[in-house]
Amino acid sequence: GQNIDQPTEMTATEGAIVQINCTYQTSGFNGLFWYQQHAGEAPTFLSYNVLDGLEEKGRFSSFLSRSKGYSYLLLKELQMKDSASYLCAVVSGNTPLVFGKGTRLSVIA
């Protein structure tokens, strides 16, 4: 089976940097996704990592270490609108995406 762990909640200050971690146990790893989900809305795609290293996309970056089963999402210059849940999801073998329970981020002034 697959297991994905993320912190349940985090709080950070506007303008700051926050790192949201995700650890996973899976076999036949094919890639890792990060999605953003505002309350009551659809998840929206943020990033995809399949190789080790850092992928940067504007204020958001995502890192992957396959040997450690570890990823993080880095959000810089936090804005109030970044308050949302951040979902880590892993694809392995021929199985569809498995999502973690998500990390609820609150950005405070």
Partner 1 sequence: DSGVTQTPKHLITATGQRVTLRCSPRSGDLSVYWYQQSLDQGLQFLIQYYNGEERAKGNILERFSAQQFPDLHSELNLSSLELGDSALYFCASSVVSGRQETQYFGPGTRLLVL
Q: Which residues would be at the binding site for partner 1 (CB under 8 A)?
A: 30-31, 33, 40-45, 48, 50, 87, 89, 91, 94-102
Helix (H, G, I), strand (E, B) or coil at 80: helix
Closest separation in Å from C-beta 98 to partner 1:
7
Question: Between 50 and 54, whose beta carbon lies closer to partner 1?
Answer: 50
Closest separation in Å from C-beta 97 to partner 1:
6
Question: Between 44 and 65, whose beta carbon lies closer to partner 1?
Answer: 44
Give the whole-angstrom CA distance, residue 15 versus residue 2: 35
Question: Between 70 and 99, whose beta carbon lies closer to partner 1?
Answer: 99
Whole-angstrom Cα Rg for the chain: 13
